[in-house]
Chain A
C-alpha cells in the first residue's frame, strides 16, 4: 500500500527556473493538498483540491499553480522559482473531513 507518493525527494533549482513537484495517492481520497513547512512557521497550506477538476487557494498560493485532472494526482508547479520558496513541501490526501495522510516530503533549495 503506497499511500501518498511524492517525487522528487530533493531538488536544487536556480532562481527563475520552473519545476513540477509530483504527488500521487492510491487511497481514492477526494481531498488533496500541498503544504510548505519552514522553521518556526509550521505547515502552511498552498493549494488544495476537493475532487478532480476542482482546486482552490490556501494561505500562501502566490508563485504556485496546481491542477487536478484525476483523483490520484495533484502536481504542484513552481512558475519562476525564488529563494523565498526554499522549503520542505508536503503533499497530503484524505476524505473531506480528514485525517490527512502525508507523503514523505520534497526538500527544495533555490539558489
Chain B
C-alpha cells in the first residue's frame, strides 16, 4: 500500500469554479503535511503547509483530518494560472512521502 494516495484526475474545470482535491495517508504517525504544485517538467513548489486546525491562504484552503487520515485542498475562484499538478506530502519520521499528483486544468 502506498504511503500517500491521490486521485490522479485529470480535473478539468471552468474559470471561476471551486475544485477540491483529497489525499489519504496510511501511517497514523505522520507528523506534518504539505501541498505542492508542480508545473510541467519543473520542480515542485510549496503551496501551503497543512495544520490540524485548517488553514487558508487567499483562494486556497487546506484541511487535515487525522481521524480519517486524509488531507484536502480547496481552490476557490479558479484561475487559468492554477493549471498544474498538485502533490500532497506526508512527513513520517525522517522521510517525506509524496502522492503521485492530481492534474488540474482550468478552462477559459
Contacts and interface: CB of A to CB of B under 8 A. Distances in A.
A42 B32 contact: no
A97 B91 contact: yes
Given A103-B43, A104-B42, A97 B87 contact: no
Nearest to B41: A88
B98 A97 contact: no
Q: Size band of the A side of the interface?
A: 20 to 34
A99 B49 contact: yes
B101 A99 contact: no
Contacts of B45: 102
Given A31-B94, A98-B32, A98-B34, A42 B43 contact: no
Interface in A78-111: 88, 90, 92, 96-105
Interface string B84-104: 000101010011111111000
Main secondary structure of the interface of B (DSSP, over half): strand
A33 B96 contact: yes
B95 A48 contact: yes
Given A48-B95, A98-B91, A41 B100 contact: yes
Interface of A: 31, 33, 35, 40-45, 48, 50, 56, 58, 88, 90, 92, 96-105
7 contacts: A33-B96, A35-B98, A96-B94, A97-B31, A98-B34, A104-B42, A105-B43
